Structures are given as C-alpha cells and as structure tokens.
Chains A and B, each alone.
Chain A
C-alpha cells in the first residue's frame, strides 16, 4: 500500500529565552527528531507516558502547531512549507479527534451544526451539510432525531461519536486521534473502538492513534511506536513489539500493565524502571532512559567500560552516547522480511538502545 504520511526529523521546542529576571530559561524539547511513515488505511499507535511528547507530535503532524524543524509530507505534498491557502486545501483530508468529549465540542452548537461546520467551511451548502450530517450521525451509531440536540444532552460516549462524525465528515485520508477513549468507561470505550474499526474498514482512512493504554493501542494498531522524552525509542509491527519488545523501556511498560488475570498477576516477575519519567527541559545525557534503565544496571554488572551516573554504575556508552533507532544486529534481513498486519508492507523492528533485548 502506498505511503500516506512521511515524517522526517520532526522537532519542536517550547520556551527557552530568558525569565523575567534575566536568567536563561531551559528550552523544552518536547519532540526531538521524530521520523516515521504511515501507509494508507493503516493505524500507527503511539504510546508513551505523560511528558513523552506524543500529543505534541500529533498536533505537529497536522500543523496545528508549528514545528521548530523537520519535514512532514502528506499525500506527496509538503505540509510544513505549505502556504496558508495550500494548507487549507489539505485540511479536509487530515482531521483530528480530541480526548475530552466534554471540552472539544462547542456547547452552543447543535450536533448537526458541529458535524456540518467543516463541510460549510469548505464550501458545501448549508442544506447539503445538514443532510450529510444526518447520515453521519447514523454512521457513528446515533440517530437523526438527535441532530438538534446540544452537547450537554449527550453522554460522554455519544459526544465522542459526534467528534468522530465531525472528523470524518469530509472523507479524510488521515485522522489523528489523541487519547480518544481514555475519558470513557471501559464498556463505552469498546463501543468507540469498534466504531473506529468499522469506519476504517469502510473508508480506508489511516489513523495516528495516540494513547497511554497499551491494551487499547495493541487492539487498534498495525504498527506501534513507543515514545520517551521526545523520541521514538522503539517502532515495529504490532505483534513484534508486543511479542518481543527490544527496548528496555518497552519491556518495563509491558511488564507494568496490570492484567485482568489474578494467577498471572501474582506469579509475575516484574521488570521495573527506577523512578519517574524525567523532564524534557533537563534531558539526560546519552540515552535518555539511562537514569531509569534496569537493563543498563544489569549490563554494567557484567563488566566492561562503566561509569558512576544517576546513583548507579552504568555502561559508559549509555551515559555518553545517544543511541540511534536500529534493527537487530545480524537479524536485520529476517526482521525486514516480516510482513505487517495488513499483509502489504515490510517493516523493520527498530529500537534505540545500546543493549537491546535481542537474545
């Protein structure tokens, strides 16, 4: 399948400059050199903890905020360099669904107006927009009778359906979904995940699905990228990433997820990262995960060139050298030949670690 979205070395810093009292303020490198591609009709899941930069990345891709550097190509057109008019012409094809089904809908507009707004904004007549809004309401599992209601008259799950109807109104080829189900109860969350799967099967839209819930991301994604402090630290086809994670951070994340199975939960040996995610305003040297990395500590115990850092003995290379995303050593050809879930594209299993879990 053809490439829909190509992101290359995308960057965004916030702040910097000086404080009111003249002291230099550290810049926050929220997104710091991200590259990936997304094929038509596929879903790339983006997981990471608070402060990993995943939401910023979603907004950068759609140029809802301006990047500090890097490239985004969408349907073979340059998004970052696009003029306001050119960007406006692309907008119908790239849409967004937000986390908060309470805050993201205008309380003074009816459901029909909310869904119809992007259509009228792009030159479709009011009557036609309203007619299509009715059809969209039914597509997302609501009824036409609800068209004249206001957001407060809907439940959280229904509001998220309205947000989705609005996003797909202009038949986009890409929708960025930022934590679309995390504010919903589990029973309602499953309804929305099924709805998204139906929409994708019917329309061939691609999703960039941003979430912190590893179970949800696994369920919806063809490929998955794990973010940590502004970087992708691991990216792979879904089953490879969950089945044989290579980066110690991914291993820790998967190990930390509590699963609804008491026997397995009780007997589980956990691999636990130390402490908490740092700040993108004070990035650690070398590998950004080194202050928390359980594997670096184990590797250092086996000997080799080590240093004292972050209150522990760690391999020097982890503290000094920033690791690049790379395929498994020697196994690159094997990895490359693996076919992604859609059966259409070969993808490599990349991890940014000096000592990945490749054994």
Chain B
C-alpha cells in the first residue's frame, strides 16, 4: 500500500550570516491511511518546521532547499501556489496547539466553518450552516445547534480545540496533522481530545500525524513514532519496538528523564546534560554527541554524521552495535 503522506529527504533552511542555517535536514517519513505517526522531539528539534515547510507554510525567509512532500503521490512542493492552497485546505487538515490563534475572535464559529466550506464547495449558505452543526456534533460539542452561533471566547480551551478539529475535518481530508493538540489542555480534557482524534481517524480512515513532546501521548495514541533531535530523525520504528527497546542514546535518555507515575519512588532522575544546540551552531558529526552518555571519539561521533540505519526500527548512532550488546 502506498503512503497517504510521505516526505523524502526534506531539508528546509533560513539564510544565515555566512551560509544557510538548516532547520530540518534530510527528513524522510511516511504515514498510511488509518494509521497514526507520532513525531516526538523537544523545542527546536524541527518537528513543527518539518510539517509547515512541507505544506508551503514556512514563514519567509525560510524555504525548502531539497526533498519532496508527497500527498497520495503528488509532490506538494511542485504545485503552483493556488493549487497548493486548494489541496492543503481540502485534503490535509491541520490542528495546532493554541486553540485561540486558529480562530478569529470577531467572527461567530458558524461563520468561520461556513467560510471554509464555501471556499471549497459549491454549496449554499444555509446548507453550509447545516453542515457546520453536523461537524460540531461530530466533534462532540454539546448542543451544537445552539452553540454554532457563539463566538470563540464563549468556548473553553478544550471546546475551542474541538471547533478547530471540526474545521480541520470539514472537507474530509486524507491526512490530519495535529501539532501538540493537547499540550494546552488539562489532563482530563486531553484524554477526551485524544479519544476524539482516534475516533475520527478510524471513522474516516485518515492518516494522522501527531506532533508531540509527550511520550505518554505517543504510547497511548500512535502506531509508529519518529524521534527528532536537532533537525533530524534520530530514531524511527513502531511504537511497540521503540518503547520496548529504544536504540538511540537520545531516546534512551528521554525515557530515563521522565518522572513516570508508576516508577519506583525515591529514585533519582537521569537528566540529559546541557541543552539542545542552536540550529546555527549544531556540532560537527552527531548533533547529540556533546550530551551523549555513549559518545566515543574512536567511533567518529564528533566528526562523522551518523546515518539512519536499520530496516523498520532504525536509529542514527555510530555506537549502535555497542548499545545493542550492552542493552
């Protein structure tokens, strides 16, 4: 089966003082219909830029300098601006972290949803409004017919995120990209939102990309995972594989640094020393080497960029063989 959405060697950069600063480098990933791919990383890892740049939404002066972004086989990066705009709205839905920025505060929710519908479909105002109520019902907003005429500020954070989700699925997209959709929400509301996203994916057979920093959300929701660090994918595989036996030292360290609610108490966390590198000053060789517990000069960690190696469960680390034998 071919992927619903696929990135091949995507590289995006902004101009720097001497040369271009690469925000994301050589990112390849794919997600199939009915499947959820989680993209995990810390701030500045490039997880959001990967998707904004592949959809032509990277703010200037950033631009894609290499790679392809294939939606059901069509390279979005080769489309003319108008074609890209139409494709993006209709066939790729997006939900972002902050539910306030995605909604215009001066328009009623009904106006904002009907605008999306009427921009893409030849339907009347009243038919669009009926469809808006249906969509709000689908995202489980209570009393949708009454609330459709409310303004965004009249909804709670969790309800606003549902309104945005309704807009994202309004045109029946094949791919839904959710960027930290639950980070601003409280934990009980987060659980409700994750259930909703899973239900919508299953009902419509959408391919879903879930961008998150929370490994708990990945474990709960995703089928496969790509771990990003300093603009690159450093490990990828099924959620079961990566969580059972993480192979990249960064992934291993992330697991050790989480205070889990069922871990033995009284233990000390093992933090990762230092902080992630500035994109303009990424180290030579492996970008994680300065923070890595397994770093070795002999293995070339500080001089040679490691490649993502492995079939299925892959990791980019010079010391893979050592990690596997000591694990």
Contact assessment for B271 and A194 in the assembled complex, using a CB-CB cutoff below 8 Å: yes
Instruction: Flag if A265 contacts B186 (CB, 8 Å).
Output: no
Q: Does residue B205 face the partner (Cβ distance < 8 Å to A)?
A: no
* CB <8 Å contact, A272 and B213: no
How many angstroms between the C-alpha atoms of A260 and B276 in the bound complex? 22
Q: Is the beta-carbon distance between B275 and A260 smaller than 8 angstroms?
A: no
Q: Which residues of B contact A341 (CB under 8 A)?
A: 265-266
Q: Which of A186, A253, A260 contacts B219 (CB 8 A)?
A: A260
B residues near A218, Cβ cutoff 8 Å? 259, 261, 265
Bitwise, B247-276 to A at CB < 8 A (1) or not (0) is: 000000111111111110110111111011
Q: Which of B189, B217, B240 contacts A258 (CB 8 A)?
A: B217
Minimum C-beta distance from B259 to chain A (A): 4
A148 CB to closest chain B CB, in angstroms?
20
Q: Does A256 contact B (CB under 8 A)?
A: yes
> Which of B188, B253, B275 sits near A157, CB closer than 8 Å?
B275
Stretch at the interface among B10-18, B117-125, B130-138, B190-198: B190-198
Interface segment among A84-92, A209-217, A299-307, A350-358: the answer is A209-217
Given contacts A187-B257, A272-B191, contact A259 B186 (CB under 8 A): no
Q: A155-B275, A157-B275 are in contact. Are A186 and B257 (CB under 8 A)?
A: yes
| Residues in A whose Cβ lies below 8 Å from that of B276 | 185
Interface status of B215 (Cβ within 8 A of chain A): yes
B190 to A: closest C-beta gap in Å: 7
A interface, how many residues as a size bin?
A: 35 or more
**Contact (A261, B243) CB under 8 Å given A185-B42, A188-B275:** yes
Number of interface residues of B (CB under 8 A): 48
Supposing A186-B254, A257-B216 touch, asked if A277 and B268 sit within 8 A by C-beta, the answer is no
Contact B218 A260 (CB under 8 A): yes
Residue from B43, B159, B187, B221 in contact with A256 in the complex, judged by beta carbons closer than 8 Å:
B187
Q: Is the CB of A273 within 8 A of B188?
A: yes
Q: Mask for A252-271, Cβ within 8 A of B = 1, else 0?
A: 11111111111111100010
**Which residues on B sit within 8 Å (CB–CB) of A157?**
275
| Cβ-defined contact, B259 with A215, below 8 A | yes
A-contacting residues, B280-305, CB 8 Å = 291
> B187's contact among A188, A193, A214, A239, by CB below 8 Å, is which?
A214
Task: Check A270/B219 contact, CB under 8 A, given A187-B271, A190-B269, A214-B261.
Answer: no
User: How many contacting A-B pairs (Cβ < 8 A)?
Assistant: 135
A262 in contact with B268 given A215-B259, A218-B261, A257-B261 (CB within 8 Å): no
Contacts A188-B275, A194-B271, A216-B259 hold; do A272 and B192 have CB atoms under 8 A apart?
Answer: yes
Pair B188/A252 contact, Cβ less than 8 Å: yes
Residues of B with C-beta under 8 A to A188: 271-272, 275
Q: Knowing that A214-B261, A259-B216 are A-B contacts, what are 18 other residue pairs whose CB atoms are under 8 Å apart, sorted by A's residue number?
A: A186-B42, A187-B42, A187-B254, A189-B271, A190-B269, A191-B271, A213-B259, A238-B265, A256-B190, A257-B216, A258-B194, A261-B219, A265-B216, A265-B220, A272-B188, A276-B156, A277-B186, A341-B266
A: residues with CB less than 8 A from B are 49-50, 155-158, 185-191, 193-194, 197, 212-216, 218-219, 238-239, 242, 252-266, 270, 272-273, 276-277, 341
Subset of 27 A-B contacts with CB under 8 Å: A50-B157, A185-B213, A187-B275, A190-B269, A194-B269, A212-B186, A214-B261, A215-B258, A218-B259, A239-B265, A253-B187, A256-B188, A256-B191, A257-B261, A258-B191, A258-B216, A258-B220, A259-B216, A259-B261, A260-B255, A260-B258, A260-B260, A272-B188, A273-B188, A276-B158, A276-B188, A341-B265
Closest 6 CB pairs of A and B: A258-B216, A190-B271, A219-B259, A187-B272, A190-B257, A49-B186
